[in-house]
Amino acid sequence: VFVAVDKWKNFRLDRPLASTEDIAAQALPDAAVAMFLTTLTTAVAFFATAICPVAPIKMFAIFCGLLVVFDYIMNILLVFPALCVYDRSIQSKGPQGVSC
């Protein structure tokens, strides 16, 4: 989430007059790649722990690996649309009209 918001803010500061669609088209690929790489390394580490013969540790490792993958998917599907809605509301009302 922090990577996505930071990328969005940086692109918005660099291009204050750009449309929301332009900012999303530039910020999403950069943030998605960075988040994917960290997700991949974390998930692989948890799935590698699943070779442990102790059942509770094995189940915990599989659960955490899947949790990290689904967290990435939820971030891509929810955070960027939320940032688009937030950015449009700021662009239409100005920063004084948004109360978050």
pLDDT digits (tens, 9 = 90+) for 50-69: 999 999 999 999 999 999 99
| Sites in the chain below the pLDDT cut of 70 | 94-100
Q: Report which DSSP code applies to 95.
A: G
Contact 23, 39 (CB under 8 A): no
Pairwise CA distance, residues 42 & 28, whole Å = 21
DSSP 50: T
Per-residue pLDDT, 90: 86
